[in-house]
Amino acid sequence: MLSLVRSQHACIERIRSAVRWAKRLVVLVGAPGQGKTVVLQDLVLRTPTNPLCLEGELISDRTDAVLRLMGLVGLRPEGSIHQMLGRLQTKHSTGSEQGIPEIIVDDAHCLPDDVLQLFHELTAGAYGRRWSVLLVGESQLVSRLQELQPIAVLCSVVMLPPWDQQDLEQAGSKFYPGHEWSSIPSSLLQRYGSQPKQLLRLVGEWEDSVASAPDLPEREAKVSMVRISSSWMIGFGIALAVLIAVLIFVQLGDEKTPARTSTPIPLTPNNQ
């Protein structure tokens, strides 16, 4: 597992601030493989409290979500959903004043709409008190919350930023010590900044290619000479083709010109 980099640490602080001060649902969004789960694990491990952690892709409906919450709290799943939610409210809020959510749902973009509505109801205090809930998922999660019926959900959104040059150097220095990071093409960072594992793999391939080619300047010079020779040959070929075309055109013009007819000169008799 990759360790957190500077931008991810800053993202954790934004989450804590949103949980502490926001009066509604908090959502962390990021691209697939960008490191959302790593951020969550660090957020949980570095706190004295134990949030209730759920996996969104495993929850099928509202009843399933409530039963899983009851099991995590240690309550027996008895009665209707409303009765279980009422009993669930007896659990005292812990950690939210320090910016730690009480419920964390990873892969929340996999949740059905009615389950998303349930977590919104918990944050709104529909069953006795307000819960602090952090939903983690991909970008479409925000639009789905905003389109929920009958009431759209307004959430506090925290976006996990893509890696920048400092993040790459911080993470890469552990894998490739002594590497000259200024030699890494900026196009790699721009394209794969939201895919840290892919980015580090490509950096490793770039490092291996540089290490296996110490005569890289000479190779680049040879490539340049080949490109110049190729350009000269192409230019010569074009000129030759134009010259041949001109000669053919002139020859065709001569063939189409009508032949000159000779004028006979009559012979006159000599006067005696």
Rounded mean pLDDT for each run of 10 residues along the chain, 272 residues in total: 82 90 86 88 81 93 94 89 86 71 93 94 87 93 88 86 85 73 74 82 68 48 51 73 75 59 51 46
The total number of structural domains that make up the chain: 3
Could you tell me if 67 and 179 lie in one domain?
Answer: no
1 belongs to a structural domain = no
> 54 and 119 share a domain?
yes
pLDDT of residue 29: 94
pLDDT value for 33: 86
Indicate whether 42 and 82 sit together in one domain: yes
> Can you tell me the distance from the alpha carbon of 111 to that of 103, in angstroms, rounded to the nearest whole number?
14
Please state, in angstroms and rounded to a whole number, the distance separating the CA atoms of residues 155 and 99: 16
d(Cα 169, Cα 160) in Å, to the nearest integer? 18
Contacts of 30 (CB under 8 A, 6+ apart): 36, 138, 139, 159, 160, 194
The answer on 199 and 131 residing in a single domain is no
**Quick one: pLDDT at residue 23?**
64
What's the pLDDT score for residue 246? 73
**Judgement on whether residues 129 and 98 belong to the same structural domain of the protein:** yes
Q: Name the packing angle between helices 113-124 and 62-73 (round to 10°).
A: 50
For helices 6-21 and 165-175, the axis angle rounded to 10 degrees is 120
Domain span at residue 74 reads 6-159
pLDDT value of residue 114: 93
Q: What's the confidence (pLDDT) of residue 197? A: 81
Would residue 259 count as lying in a domain? no
